[in-house]
Structure 1
Amino acid sequence: MNILVISNNYPSPAYPARGVFVYNLIQQFCKLGHKVTVISPRKLKMSSFRKGKSYGVENCEVYRPSFFSVSSLQLGSFNTYRIAELGQIKGVQKTVKKNNIQFDVVYTHFMINGIIAVSALKEYGKPIFCAIGESDLVSFTKRYPKKYFDQSISGLNGFIAVSNKLKGQLMSYGIPEKKIFMKPNAVDLQRFYRRDKGDMRKKFGFPNELKLVAFVGRFMPHKGPLRVLEAVEKLDNVGVLFIGSGPQDPKGESVVFKGSVPSFEIPELLSAADVFVLPTQKEGSCNAIAEAIACGLPIVSSNIPEVKDQCHPSFSILVDPMDVNALKVAIHSVISDNQKCLEMSKNALDYAKNFEIGDRALSILNFIEARMKDKTALSK
């Protein structure tokens, strides 16, 4: 197939870490023999000069039209995001026409891009599919007038939801269950696998005498880095690797590492740890959790539906993400019992086979092709 991908969350030389999980999936589409063209609209301020870095081998033709944005502010019944949306719609239209892009199907990532594609490409009459990976759709839909939102999603021919929570929300908007394929996010097991712990600690200069907790994600309140730090500070001989960045700033003697790293270093840092901890309050389908599982780490995370979709009790302990004492108890129960830790690690590695990105890409394309072959399904 000729697949046109619309996603404003896709890496570039200027922003190599942006949308890496989208990039990884789309590259798998290419490896499966499909011709893929990506249109990734970017804000004007992102178009200014910035020293670039390689974000990996690119097997697609990628276009990055610019658009003007004034953020997302609610002014009465009007949300200023609609200005940016119009700019992206026009950018997609101009790019397709100028470059005479030929496509059989449109794959969009995140609902905003699905809505953009419906408006920008309706004249072509091609089926449009949308991957839903937001942590929540309810708050997102408030930026649109209800009639416009309902009309837009009715123009989408199928949805890939990364959690049962999101599948349920789609159905609450009147989307038939047969139009929804639920498949959690996945990882490239050729890149994310367990390295020798001792070797990785030596490489990064981490002490061998400490038990190490790994946190990966934005340093935001809903992700909970400061709750992790508070829990660990109540334990003896435990340090934390804070991998990421954000407005919150975990500080203290327990912080062994803090900062953003290239994507290839994340599995190495995870392999240096004993347990992965993420007390998140909301997710779509958490890539960081999938990556930690692939590296064989026991998981301590949140007792919320979207995390339950990813974690099996054989390698995870799920608690109230706001309960610091429960986090402390869960972490201690893993790191204080070497045999338990080893068993959870083995179970995580076995379970990681369910998160292979090539299999996920193939199953998504099979769903799309099945919908496309059923002409009556595309009209419903």
Structure 2
Amino acid sequence: MKILALTNLFPTAWDPLRASFNRQQFDRLARFHDLEVMVAVDFRERRRGPRGAPPVLEYARTSDFTFWYPPRIGRSLHGLAWYASLLAQRGARLRRERYDLLFASWGYPDAVGTARLARTLDLPYVVKVHGSDLNVQANHRLRRPQIASALRGARAVIAVSDALAGKARELGVDEDRVHLLYNGVDSERFHPGDQAAARRALGLPLDAPLILYVGNLKESKGCLDLIEAFPAVLARHPRARLAFVGGGAAGTALARRAQQLGIADRVDLAGERPHDQLPVWMQAADLLSLPSHNEGVPNVVLEAMACGLPVVATRVGGIPEVLPAHAGVLVPARDRAALGKALADALRREWSRGEILEQAGKFRWDDNVRRLDRILRDSAGPPSLP
């Protein structure tokens, strides 16, 4: 089939490290279909200029368009602005191409704009939802009906967690059109390794317990909760270290708070790292922590388990679906005291790496893409009779 994927969740020269999960999934899907990924680039990012090289893909093709919208106001108009931006810049080519299916990845504004485009081109479409597109965006009064309409009009809605699948059904999507499809892990890249060798490669102490955070540095990901919880860990593990791998607006606040707490010498702000450098950080660590306030199913949890790491995370979104007690600990979101205790306890606990790896083995990209392929093929055919 000829498929056009439309999303903001894909790496570009303006954001090279964005959404590695979609890069991995879409490039694998393109082994079976003629797949073009058209990426919405925020006009502010475009003005700032490229930050690196675009992704190197083996099978998929990529293009982009600039997403223009009124900043700070009019969020309820972003679906229309997304569609208008796309049509103004790429409309002629989109009308010439003979696509079989449109595939939107993200609920708002991407799915809302894609629904409009599908009506314009008279094409079926599928939507994949990820987390805060339904957990947050769909809670806004003027956005919720737009998202609900876009999902109800899709031939299929793919949710990366059962919790999100439930939210799609709450928005009125028929049960038989909602599909649960967890993301996968590249086991050739993410696997256990020699901890001492990984620490030497990163210049980290060989004998200090290491807690690792990987992700965007923003408040909703719980990184500020983690820095506040870390002194409780040091009270029981005085040599422990905390490493943040990622970039974002909260980076400055993290550095400042580490200084204020007197723990700056125990905190490493490693900055953004390419996806292929994450395994060595996971192999160097003793556990991964992701204390998010809301989530779908973050791939970093699956990748950490594939490296044999236990995970301390929050009981939000789809995380409880993939993180059993033998692979990690769940705590309430925003509960810094519970987080500190769980981290300290987890560093003392004897974990079974074999059981963690067995859990991680349930999430494979090959299985994921085979199921996705079936969903998309079924969705491109004639609509089912009521």
Q: Same fold (TM over 0.5)?
A: yes
1:317 aligns with 2:313: no
After superposition, give the CA deviation of every residue in 1:138-194 in whole Å (9 maximum; x if it has no partner).
642437466655543332111000112211111111111110101222222222222
- Equivalent position of 1:218 in the other structure: 216
Q: Deviation of residue 334 (structure 1)?
A: 2.3
**1:197: which partner in 2?**
195
Are 1:346 and 2:358 matched, yes or no? no
1:64-103 equivalences in 2 (<5 Å): 64-71=64-71, 73-74=73-74, 79=77, 82-97=80-95, 100-103=96-99
Q: Any idea what the Cα deviations from partners look like across 1:274-303, whole Å, max 9, x if unmatched?
A: 011111110012121111111110011112
Paired amino acid for 2:244: F
User: Secondary structure of 1:218's match?
Assistant: coil
2:295–2:317 contact (8 Å) kept in structure 1: no
Asked whether the 8 Å contact 2:4–2:102 carries over to 1, the reply is yes
Look up the match of 1:25. 25
Task: Name the counterpart of 1:105.
Answer: 101
Scaled by the length of structure 2, the TM-score of the pair is: 0.87
Matches within 5 A, 1:1-380: 1-31=1-31, 33-48=32-47, 49-50=49-50, 52-71=52-71, 73-74=73-74, 79=77, 82-97=80-95, 100-111=96-107, 112-137=109-134, 139-141=136-138, 142=140, 144=142, 148-234=146-232, 235=234, 236-248=238-250, 249-250=253-254, 251=258, 252-337=264-349, 340-341=350-351, 343=352, 345-373=353-381, 375-377=382-384
Gaps of 5+ in 1: none
SS for the counterpart of 1:309 is helix
Inter-partner Cα distance in structure 2 for 1:353 and 1:13: 32
Deviation at 1:12, TM superposition (A): 1.7
Say if 1:3 and 1:35, in contact at 8 Å, map to a contact too: yes
TM-score between both structures, scaled by the size of structure 1: 0.89
Give the 3-state SS of the residue equivalent to 1:184 in structure 2. Answer: coil
After TM superposition, give the deviation of residue 206 of structure 1 in Å.
0.3
Shift of 1:225: 1.7
Contact 1:216–1:242 (CA under 8 A) maintained in structure 2: yes
Deviation at residue 362 of structure 1 after TM alignment: 1.2
Give the total of aligned pairs. 369
Q: Return the offset for 1:270.
A: 1.0
- Partner SS, residue 284 of structure 1: coil
**Residue identity opposite 2:345 in structure 1:** S
Residues 228 and 123 of structure 1: is their aligned pair in 2 closer, same or farther, counting only changes over 3 Å? closer
Paired with 1:330 and 1:314, the residues of 2 have a C-alpha distance of: 14
Instruction: Supply the RMSD in Å over aligned alpha carbons.
Output: 2.4
Query: What 5-or-longer segments of structure 2 have no aligned partner?
Result: 259-263
Aligned letter for 2:335? Answer: D
Instruction: Give the SS at the match of 2:277.
Output: helix
* Larger fraction in helix: 2
Query: SS in structure 2 opposite 1:228?
Result: helix
Please tell me the residue identity of whatever aligns with 1:194. P
Q: Tell me, in whole angstroms, the C-alpha distance in 2 between the residues paired with 1:59 and 1:72.
A: 38
Distance verdict in 2 for CA 1:261–1:150, change over 3 Å: closer
The secondary structure found in structure 1 opposite 2:318 is helix
SS of the residue corresponding to residue 132 of structure 2 reads: coil
